[in-house]
Amino acid sequence: MPSPGRRFKSAIYEQFARVAKALASAHRVELVELLAQGPRTVEALSKLADMRLANTSAHLQVLRGAGLVESSKEGLFVTYRLADASVSELLLATRRVAEARLAEVAKVTRQFLADNAQLDGVDAKALRARVRHGEVTLLDVRPPEEFAAGHIPGALSVPLPELASRLSALPKRREVVAYCRGPYCVLAVEAVKLLRARGFKAVRLEDGVLDWAGLGLRVEATGA
């Protein structure tokens, strides 16, 4: 019969494993990343993650069972949010380990950026300094509700679907920097492609709001 100490260790590690199991799905990792941008309804998450509503709901139930997300109901709609900031930290830590240990992460990223003509080297530290000093036109191309929940100070909210119609309001002689949800979000890649095609000098800031905050830099919010 196992000793009390062995039973304790087995029980506690089983609880730790529940968190790892909850993230053992590409779909659930993406849902956590989306919720790190702000609360969302199941319907909105289903659309953003390009998943069937039933599948999205099932994945959210797994995340809630592991205590990673919470939900509230208003009328017919259920809204999900991350349980607390530690879940965002877990997401960033998972990403950092994968980047450091899995060569496929860099390979897949390089190929995608090459296919989109955006493999040009960008000094991330220098670019952050220019953003912080207001030396560029900074565009947040995420949906407006994500911008309201938290954005990099000085950024203009220009959701990607609206970008083409709002180009005339941007100073063409000033470099434009676009960002979205982080280094693996494709919204900013599409924004830079469009901007360059229209004659703007444009680059992508790899950082999303989570990355920015993780560096100890200030994030602003303008709404609930």
Query: What residues are annotated to the active site?
Result: 180
CA-to-CA distance for 158 and 204, rounded, in angstroms?
Answer: 14
Cα angle: 42, vertex 16, 89; to 5 degrees: 60
Q: What is the DSSP string of 22-88?
A: HT-SHHHHHHHHHHTTS-EEHHHHHHHTT--HHHHHHHHHHHHHTTSEEEEEETTEEEEEESSHHHH
H or E, element range at 207: none
Q: Is 112 exposed, middle or buried (0-12, 13-18, 19+ CB in 10 A)?
A: middle
**In the block, residue with structure tokens 């890649």:** 189
